[in-house]
Amino acid sequence: MTDILVSEVGPRDGLQSIDRVMPLEAKKRWIAAEAAAGVKEIEVGSFVPPKLLPQMADTAELVAFARGIEGLNVVALVPNAKGASRAAEAGVHAMSIPFSMSETHSIKNVRKDHPAMIAEIAAASAIAREHDIHFAVGLSTAFGCTMEGAVAEDQVVRLAEKAVEAGAEELSLSDTTGYADPAQVRRLTRKVRAAVGADRLTTLHLHNTRGLGLANVVAGLEEGITTFDASLGGLGGCPFAPGASGNLVTEDLVLMLNAMGLKTGIDLEKLLEVRRIVEEALPGEPLYGFTPDAGPMLDYKQRAAA
């Protein structure tokens, strides 16, 4: 069996996308329950100013809590070097900084053009190194942008190289807008890996906005990608396509990977129970996924054990 890491990003990417603030105790129950189900990595929050994202104001407390869970890799998103300092102080195991491949998106999102973001990545990387924290860069809008449309693949490759030069230990290709298709995933993964090395590009952050999320996962698997981000219940939706699901649904991803005979280490039945915690804490919030409704196949356990 091949080991595949499913990285849960719901407590950050999901919760920052909705208006309501989930209570701290509910977040803790969610994180603990997912870890108990076998999830080995959780992005627990982001170190952004609370004024901008009150949903993330308790991230330092969540880091402290999650660090007490044996075997769990505790990750946080940081928007800049200032956020990296706060993450290091909190004691994260790993941090990730988003770097938009669309300069228009970058300026609108973090008010920095590409040269300014490279400088920010270098500064954040230095902080991570000083504290022995794994440092990753998420290449967001890599597959397309709602402002610019297509993003040139050569530009993605060039900026990926710049990010590594600035100190990125690891890269992920992020389908921020749900534009990716399987052929594009294969092509861009090959190009970036050829430029920076296969060991630098191990992760895909995919969305299911247009129903292509799991197909894009399979394309990534075929290219040797071993880590996939997902959000419980696809929480967060997609601000660019109202009414559409956004993040890849953790439950559907785990069902597919386990049924394919790949090794995630995640107990699907226990994972499905975690959904109740989120439903109770955020009543009425849209949650997505086919597996919670349909359940696993009758021969699922035989497939997963194969």
pLDDT digits (tens, 9 = 90+) for 130-147: 999 999 999 999 999 988
Tell whether pTM > 0.85: yes
Residue-wise DSSP of 92-127:
-SEEEEEEESSHHHHHHHHS--HHHHHHHHHHHHHH
Confidence label for 61 from pLDDT (cuts 50, 70 and 90): very high
pLDDT in tens, 35-47: 999 999 999 999 9
pLDDT in tens, 111-121: 999 999 999 99
Which residue in 4, 2, 3, 22 sits closest to 12, CA to CA? 22
Confidence label for 271 from pLDDT (cuts 50, 70 and 90): very high
As a whole-number percent, the residues of the chain with pLDDT over 70 amount to: 97
Mean predicted confidence (pLDDT) in 145-153: 93
Active site residue 238: yes
Q: What is the pLDDT of residue 197?
A: 97
Mean predicted confidence (pLDDT) in 280-290: 94
Give yes or no for a contact between 37 and 7, defined as CB atoms under 8 angstroms apart: no
- CA distances to 136, 234, 269, 295, 303 from 290, rounded to whole Å, are 31, 11, 14, 8, 18
Is pLDDT of 221 > 90? Answer: yes
Q: What is the pLDDT of residue 240?
A: 56
Identify the weakest region by mean pLDDT among 84-93, 228-237, 272-281. 228-237
pLDDT in tens, 6-22: 999 999 999 998 889 99
Q: What is the pLDDT of residue 120?
A: 97
The whole-chain average pLDDT of the chain stands at: 95
Which tokens belong to 187? 């092509």
Q: What is the pLDDT of residue 1?
A: 54
Confidence label for 55 from pLDDT (cuts 50, 70 and 90): very high
Domains and CATH numbers, the chain: 5-305 (3.20.20.70)
Q: What is the pLDDT of residue 287?
A: 92
As a whole-number percent, the residues of the chain with pLDDT over 90 amount to: 91
Which residue in 250, 127, 236 sits closest to 178, CA to CA? 236
Q: What is the pLDDT of residue 108?
A: 87
Distance from C-alpha of 274 to C-alpha of 11, rounded to nearest angstrom:
13
Q: What is the pLDDT of residue 151?
A: 96
| Identified catalytic residue from 238, 257, 259, 277 | 238
